[in-house]
Amino acid sequence: MVKLKQLRCSFCRKKESEVLKLVAGPHVYICDACVSIATKLMSDDSASAGYTTVPTIWQKLFRGVRKLLHDWSVRRVDYFTAS
């Protein structure tokens, strides 16, 4: 017997049968209700104008590590291509 997996919205977890539309992405799904909420959040200029996000210590640490690795890889490529 073949068992079919019920598709769900990756954000609100509603089943495919409970929503009007379900859009598929790479291993994720989003329903029409979540799309409308996301659209409102992205277009709301008043919310983004008054608040700024302060990076946490972990975000600063990861940013530094990424920069260090990127700089190292660039120097490594320059070293090997200069020969």
Cβ(10)–Cβ(29) below 8 Å? yes
Cβ(40)–Cβ(27) below 8 Å? no
Percent of the chain's residues with pLDDT above 70: 73
Beta strands in 1-83 (DSSP E): 22-24, 29-31
Q: Which of 5-9, 38-42, 47-51, 69-73 has the lowest mean pLDDT?
A: 47-51
Residue 80 has pLDDT above 60, yes or no: no
d(CA 66, CA 61): 9
As a whole number of Å, the end-to-end CA separation of the chain is 62
Map tokens 């919205």 to a residue: 9
